[in-house]
Amino acid sequence: MAGNQGGVTRRQEYEKRLRRRSLFVAASSTLAVLLAIVVLVPRAPGWERVQQSFFNAEVIAKTFPKLLNAFLLDVAIFAWSAPLIAVLGLAIALARDVRNPVLYPLRLFGIVYTDIFRGVPVVLVVYLIGFGIPGLGLPRPWNSPYIWGTLALVLTYAAYVAEIFRSGIESVHASQRNAALSLGLSGADAMRFVVLPQAIRRVIPAQMNMLIALQKDVALLSFIGPVEIFRQAGVFKSLLANFTPYVVAAAIFLVVTVPATRLADHLIAKQNRART
């Protein structure tokens, strides 16, 4: 019974000691590296200049509020694109899955669509649609770069999101669909009530990664007009002849994307654990 007092086994005792030790080692080595950076980097010959143009406290103070404000536009574009992407992506995924020969054109459309929009760089789609369609001389508000820029993002991302949905649908074993059909459900009901709910649950982590990528790619709309954070930083850069605004913009992105990435990774890890 030795070592089993108070419900703690010898093994647990040992692992606890081990954990404490590795925590200590990790903390001290991290501290050492940080210290080296803080002490050594400022000694580099060009540090003064780099600090002046990239990490300028004065510029940070002056530009931060406006950059944050511009970032709200990124968030807004993101917020209205994301649901459209989800709906269109799901529709395309389902179109690629139809079995009815009458609807074959729909299936063909799904295939061609995903091929095209996954094959062209996002920037190009943004340029072509963002400049091309307003170039038709449409009346206000239909010449707005917000509309067409958003459309470009929606079209491109829907192609990727559709592929992820489709992989989810295919990962649900055929026996689930057969069980639903054997009860007398229609093919559409089997998809809607049995296959899709399981498929969507499985691809949530992967779709979260798409959302994070989308949040960053909203900055591409800066090329066609909207003064979102990246463009605002560019304006400040020219105005102040200083790169600090870009660093501030990057930091603002990180504040949003890092927690989101961690969450997605956490969800994926949880799912992998559940599956084994």
**Residues within the interface to other proteins (CB under 8 A):** 175-176, 178-186, 189, 193-194, 197-198, 201
Decide whether 4 or 178 has the Cβ nearer to other proteins.
178
Decide whether 103 or 111 has the Cβ nearer to other proteins.
103
Question: Which residues neighbour 42 within 8 Å (Cβ) at sequence distance 6 or greater?
Answer: 51
What's the closest the beta carbon of residue 210 comes to other proteins, in angstroms?
22
Decide whether 57 or 174 has the Cβ nearer to other proteins.
174
Cα 243 from Cα 233, distance rounded (Å): 8
Report residue 126 as tokens. Answer: 């943004």
Decide whether 5 or 100 has the Cβ nearer to other proteins.
100
What's the closest the beta carbon of residue 170 comes to other proteins, in angstroms?
17
* Phi, psi (degrees; rounded to nearest 5) at 31: -60, -40
Residue pair 221/228 in contact (Cβ under 8 Å)? The answer is yes
Closest CA to 138 of 222, 152, 130, 124: 130
Residue pair 198/172 in contact (Cβ under 8 Å)? The answer is yes
What's the closest the beta carbon of residue 46 comes to other proteins, in angstroms?
59
What's the closest the beta carbon of residue 187 comes to other proteins, in angstroms?
9
